[in-house]
Structure 1
Amino acid sequence: MKSLLTGFAFLLAATTTSLAATFSFPSDDPAATVDIPDAWQPSETDYGVEATSEDGNTYISFDIAGESDMDQVMTDVFAFLEQNGVVPDPASQKESKDTLNGMPFETLDWSGTDADGPVSIGVGILGLSPEKIAIVTYWASKEGEAANMEGVGKILATIKPAP
Structure 2
Amino acid sequence: MKRLLIAALAALSIAGIAQAGDIAFPSDAPIAVITFPEPWSAEETETGVQATSPEDAIYLSADVADGKSIDGAIEDAIKFLTDNGVVINGDSAKRQDTEVNGMPISLVDWTGKDKDGAASIGLAAVVLDEKHILVLTYWGTQGDEDKYDGDVASIIQSIRKAD
**Structure 1 counterpart of 2:150:** 150
**Structure 2 counterpart of 1:44:** 44
1:21 matched to 2:21: yes
> C-alpha deviations, 1:128-160, integer Å up to 9, x for none?
001101011111011232111110000111110
More divergent stretch after superposition (23-32 vs 102-111): 23-32
Separation of aligned partners in 1, 2:134 and 2:144 = 23
1:39-118 matched pairs, under 5 angstroms: 39-118=39-118
More divergent stretch after superposition (27-36 vs 105-114): 27-36
Q: Give the 3-state SS of the residue equivalent to 1:156 in structure 2.
A: helix
CA shift, 1:29, in A, is 2.3
Aligned length: 148
Which amino acid is 1:24 matched to?
A
Separation of aligned partners in 2, 1:66 and 1:19 = 29
Separation of aligned partners in 1, 2:81 and 2:127 = 22
Separation of aligned partners in 2, 1:106 and 1:128 = 12
Higher RCO (CA 8 Å, separation ≥ 6 residues) = 2
Per the normalisation by structure 2, the TM-score is 0.86
> Which has the larger Rg?
1
CA shift, 1:17, in A, is 5.8
Indicate how the Cα distance of structure 1 residues 100 and 19 shifts in structure 2: closer, same or farther if over 3 A, else same. Answer: closer
Separation of aligned partners in 2, 1:73 and 1:32 = 16
CA shift, 1:43, in A, is 0.8
Overall identity of the aligned pairs, in %: 36
**Structure 2 counterpart of 1:138:** 138
Per the normalisation by structure 1, the TM-score is 0.86
CA shift, 1:37, in A, is 2.2
Separation of aligned partners in 1, 2:63 and 2:17 = 27
**Structure 2 counterpart of 1:5:** none
1:115-134 matched pairs, under 5 angstroms: 115-134=115-134
Indicate how the Cα distance of structure 1 residues 18 and 129 shifts in structure 2: closer, same or farther if over 3 A, else same. Answer: same
> C-alpha deviations, 1:12-40, integer Å up to 9, x for none?
xxxx8634121111223211001112411
Please, which runs of 5 or more residues in structure 1 have no aligned partner?
Answer: 1-15
Separation of aligned partners in 1, 2:71 and 2:61 = 17
Q: Give the 3-state SS of the residue equivalent to 2:34 in structure 1.
A: strand
Please, which runs of 5 or more residues in structure 2 have no aligned partner?
Answer: 1-15
